[in-house]
Each structure stands twice: as C-alpha cells, then as structure tokens.
Structure 1
Amino acid sequence: MPGPDLDTRIETYYVRVRGVVQGVGFRHHTVRKAHALGVRGWVANLDDGSVEAIVQGAANQVDLMLEWLRRGPPHARVTDFHSEERYVEKRYERFEQH
C-alpha cells in the first residue's frame, strides 16, 4: 500500500533564520511567498535579530517554502538556516506576520 501522496500530506516545520533578516522586508516577503504557495503558519522577528516561522501545508509546498526561506528576499542575507519538523495537531488557517 503506497504512503500518503506528497501533495496531500500535511507537514509542519519550525524555522529559524539568521543574518541580515530584519529591516529588509523579510517578514513581508515571507507572507507574500507563503500566500503564493498556499502554505499556512506565521513569521516573526526575534529580539536577537533573527526571524522564526512556522510553515504548514502540503509537503511539496512546504518544501518549496523552506527552499525559499534558505535564501530569503532580495535584500536579505541569510547566514544560518535551521528547520525541524514538528508534529502538531493545530491546523493554521492562514499565514500571518507577527
């Protein structure tokens, strides 16, 4: 019996991005990209200058979002990227900027 289709299986990832990621529109561009890909969750600045996010959606879309977050928007300079899958029951309804 085949496993869940990558287009329908819901994944949730926690992401932390460091570098020049605040003051360059990182959160705004992340929300736009998430909406374009159809993923849900949130993105927020942290006091240490990094950005964190929760990304949830179909496996293929989440993979594309994680790939985009590794680079960030044009004016960002990502120097460190960390992501880990989280097993959560919560289902986000949209992608928000905090």
Structure 2
Amino acid sequence: MPSPDLDIRIETYYVHVKGLVQGVGFRHATLRRAHALGVRGWVANLEDGSVEAMIQGPANQVDLMLEWLRRGPPHARVTDLVSEERYIEKRFERFEQH
C-alpha cells in the first residue's frame, strides 16, 4: 500500500518522447489522459517530430502518466522516452496543449 506522503508530495518531470508521435493525436490524447489523472503541466510538438511535456502532480499520478506516455494513444508508435525529474518552484494550474 502506498505511503500517505505519495499523495501529498508534488513531483515535476520533463519528458521527451520520440517516434511516430505527431499527426496521430498524441498531444490531444495526452491532454485528456492528464485531465483524467489530475496531473498538471503541458505538452508540445518539437520541430524534429518529437513531443515534449512537463508533468506535475502527486507521485502516484505522475507515475501513471509516465507509464501512459511510454505507449501513447493507439495510432502512436513511441520508440524512445526520456524523463527526468525537475526541481522547480512553479506550480502549474492546469494541463495545457501547446
């Protein structure tokens, strides 16, 4: 059973996703999944065809979001995902698609 502080401590992760992740509804599906999980942050396309995101929330919800991002929506083909925890003061108010 998770310890109670997993629901309290806020984590922030920067994520870079490569593969067939543009033109397949990846950002929109990420937005929907983030709203369903209650995480905050943003997702955006990069010029090289990859996608980047900032995910912020309680540890257990961030873990679920990272797990989902490793697969993405049905038409996406994720070939690589790199995530790193970031220590930032900013607290996002919502999850946005850029």
Q: What TM-score results when the alignment is normalised by the length of structure 2?
A: 0.96
The residue type paired with residue 20 of structure 1 is L
Unaligned runs of at least 5 residues, structure 1: none
* d(CA) in 1 for partners of 2:6, 2:50: 30
The residue type paired with residue 74 of structure 2 is P
Match of 1:70 in 2: 70
Q: Are 1:7 and 2:7 counterparts? A: yes
4+ runs deviating over 4 angstroms: none
Match of 1:33 in 2: 33
Q: Are 1:51 and 2:64 counterparts? A: no
What are the superposed Cα offsets for residues 46-66 of structure 1, whole Å, 9 maximum, x if unpaired? Answer: 000000000000000000000
Q: Are 1:42 and 2:38 counterparts? A: no
Cα RMSD for the two superposed structures:
1.1
Q: What TM-score results when the alignment is normalised by the length of structure 1?
A: 0.96
Helix, strand or coil at the partner of 1:63: helix
Give the drift of 1:4: 6.9
